[in-house]
Structures are given as C-alpha cells and as structure tokens.
Amino acid sequence: MLTTVAGFDRIGDENAFAVLARANQLAAAGRDIINLGIGQPDFKTPPNIVEAAIKALRDGHHGYTPAAGIEPLREAVAADLLRRFGTTVSPANVLITPGGKVTMFAAILMFGEPGAEVLYPDPGFPIYRSMIEFTGATAVPVPIREQNGFAFSADETLSLITPKTRLLIINSPANPTGGVTPKSEIDRLVAGLADFPHVAVLSDEIYDQMVYDGATHASLLAYPEIADRLILLNGWSKTYAMTGWRLGYSVWPTPIFEKARKLAVNSWSCVNAPAQYGALEALTGPQDAVAHMVGEFDRRRRRIVDLLNQVPGISCALPKGAFYAYASVSALGRPAKVLASELLEQAGIAVIGGPDFGTLGEGYMRFSYANSIDNIEAAIARIGEYVGKFAK
Ligand code: PLP
C-alpha cells in the first residue's frame, strides 16, 4: 500500500468541477442540461485577444518566458492597476500565474504550517480552506452573513485574530454570495490591522470588474499602510472570459516576491507564452467587450433574482457583485446538497449546494448566472416545477 504524507489526507476539492463533469456526462448521454453550476462566463474570449495569442505563436513566441512573466505584461498589469485604482505598483512586484487560483496556493503555502492560523471567509471559495488544511495550519472561518449583505464584518474579522494568525484571506466581490464589502468596512479593517502587524493579507479581487448599480470596486491596493503585507490575487479568467487559458496575476510585497518567483520556478516554470500575449492584448486593447459582458451579467442578475423569488420556498437578495445569485432554500426543507443533486439528476439543472462553500452554507444554493437569459428562464421554470412537487 502506498502512503502519502499527511497533508494529502487533508487536501479538499472543488465540487463545482465534479458537478460540471456530471452535467457534461448527462448531456453527452442526451439529457437536456442547463448549467448554472460552474463559475465561468458563457461568452467567447474577445476575438482581438484570441488573434493576439495566435499571432504570438506565428511570431515564434513558443518558448519558455521568464518565470515571473513577460516584461510587457507585468508592465501592463501595473499600468492597468494605476488606471483603475490610481495605485502605483512596480512591475517588479507582479507575478504572472497560471490562473488566479495559483496565487492562493502560493500564498497559503507560504504562510500556513502546523501551529499557524489562517482566517478565511465562510461561505467562501472552497480552495482557501482546503489549502489551509493541507499545510497543517488551522483554518479559522470568518462568518459571512446574509443579514450583513454578505459583506464581511471588519470588527468580527479583527476579533478572530490571535498571535498565531499568519494570514487573513478576504474576497470582495465574493464567490459564492455575490457580496460586496463596502469601502467603509474595508477602511475599518485596514485601520484595525495596524494593531496586528504580524498578519499578512491575501485579497482575492478576481471579480473586481463585476460590481453593479454604479458601485466602484474598493481595492485593498489603495491602502499604502498595508502595502508591505498585502498579496493581491487577480487575473483574466472572469473579466475577459478566459477561464481555460489559465492566466492570473498577483502583486507581492517586495520582501516575499522572490520567494513567490522561486515557487514558480520550482513548479510551473512560466505561464504559457502565447497566452501571455493574449493577456497583454486583453489589458492594452479595447475594453468594450468587458463593458458589454458586465452589462449582460447585470441584466441576468436582475432577471434570475426576480424569477428565483417567484419560486415558493426560495428567497434571494439582489447580489451586488460577481455573477452568482446565492439564494436561501431552507424553507424547502431539504439539505441543500441533496436538493442540488436532485435538481441535476431529475430536473437537469446544475447548481451548487451552499455547503460546498463552507459550514455556513447549509440552507443556501449558488446559481451562476453566467448563462443566457433564455437558459436562465428555462432553468428556473424547471426548478419551480420540481420543487413545486414538495414545497409547502
Ligand atoms: N478566486 C475566486 C473567488 C474564484 O471564484 C475563482 C474561480 O472560480 C478563482 C479565484 C480562480 O480563478 P482562476 O480560474 O483564474 O484560477
């Protein structure tokens, strides 16, 4: 019998991928499946980006690149952050990564070890907890509550910090809730962090362009007082409909940038060269495709929430960001994961049960509205019909 080191007994999973596989399997068997499960835009990558990557290959950009990424791309990331948030970031602190997820992998590996505590949002992206536990650190959930608009509470977060806390993970706009934490709350958090200089912060801002109702994204980059301990996670997957390209970036404080770069050299070497040229075009080319996609997500957001609220037993607040509706299904009286599985197997609708995002997820269901209005309407009609059989 092979034995692996203990960490591998603790590594978790992302159930959205299992649901996607099952949905594809059912579809391949001829079932009519509508996917509101996986969090990826249904749009195609804008053609100027695709063309730039093809051209890069034709121009001979097929070899290794520097581990931290091609220089023009690191510069373009810095210029984009300056343009959008007015914050000066040196290209020397930018690491190009194979997907946004890799930044959390690297940051959690860097700060997690037995005896350390890492704070993460619950409900939240499942990989945070999985990776924290993998390192042997203690995963300390920061509750994200519906009555707080699914924003994190600065006071509650700060109250969970102990001398053992090494890393605080925050995520706004958030997966799975669509919650956006107001700037005033982030101000309070940053002010409070002055008392805890031993705590690094990982800010996952992958949905930063998906905020609605005229709101603007409040980036943690805008706080110079924590710049020496902030790791920013971002990337192209959601904003530019590039999930399968595997492209992300992070900004690291100078003292640990080299460690992150060495981790790159020791694992992925560098990101796919033509993909980096596509990413460069994404940041430096026209941005109207982004505006179009965000406008569409906004329209779908309103429609799905309206429709969900018409289903007896389901209630859903209007999310402020990302592309997820996070609805309460507790009145239906079924455990959320059981209901999610029934909806896929029997009604042909892929959704993700709240418990896949944390202990506070029971009673909730995540609906990704990165799908067409027609599909959203058909899906919620089928869900209504299915739950109508047992809803009181
Ligand atoms: N962070 C959050 C909150 C996400 O929801 C996701 C993807 O679903 C990621 C990071 C990872 O993105 P990528 O596909 O670029 O690895």
Query: How much of the chain, in percent, has pLDDT values that exceed 70?
Result: 99
Q: 100 CB under 6 A from ligand 1?
A: yes
Q: Is position 153 within any domain?
A: yes
What atom in ligand 1 is closest to the CA of residue 236? 15
Q: 176 Cβ partners below 8 Å, 6+ apart?
A: 123, 124, 125, 324, 326, 352, 354, 357, 361, 364, 366
Which range of residues forms the domain containing residue 203?
63-284
Cα 216 to ligand 1 centroid, rounded to whole Å: 20
Cα 102 to ligand 1 centroid, rounded to whole Å: 9
Amino acid 83 reads: R
Mean pLDDT of 282-299: 97
Q: 150 CB under 6 A from ligand 1?
A: no
Cα 324 to ligand 1 centroid, rounded to whole Å: 13
What atom in ligand 1 is closest to the CA of residue 243? 14
Q: To test ligand 1's pocket by mutation, which of 95, 101, 249 has the most ligand atoms within 8 angstroms of CB? A: 101
At 89, list the tokens: 């970031």
- Both 29 and 89 in one domain: the answer is no
pLDDT beyond 90 at 14: no
The band of 261, judged by pLDDT with boundaries at 50, 70 and 90, is very high
pLDDT at residue 392, as a whole number = 60
Distance CA 40, CA 223 (A): 30
Among 284, 319, 341, give the residue marking a domain's end: 284
pLDDT digits (tens, 9 = 90+) for 333-371: 999 999 999 999 999 999 999 999 999 999 999 999 999
Q: Is position 318 within any domain?
A: yes
pLDDT beyond 90 at 233: yes
Distance CA 61, CA 113 (A): 39
- Both 265 and 307 in one domain: the answer is no
CATH code, domain with 303 = 3.90.1150.10
pLDDT beyond 90 at 13: no
Mean pLDDT (the chain) is: 96
The band of 391, judged by pLDDT with boundaries at 50, 70 and 90, is low
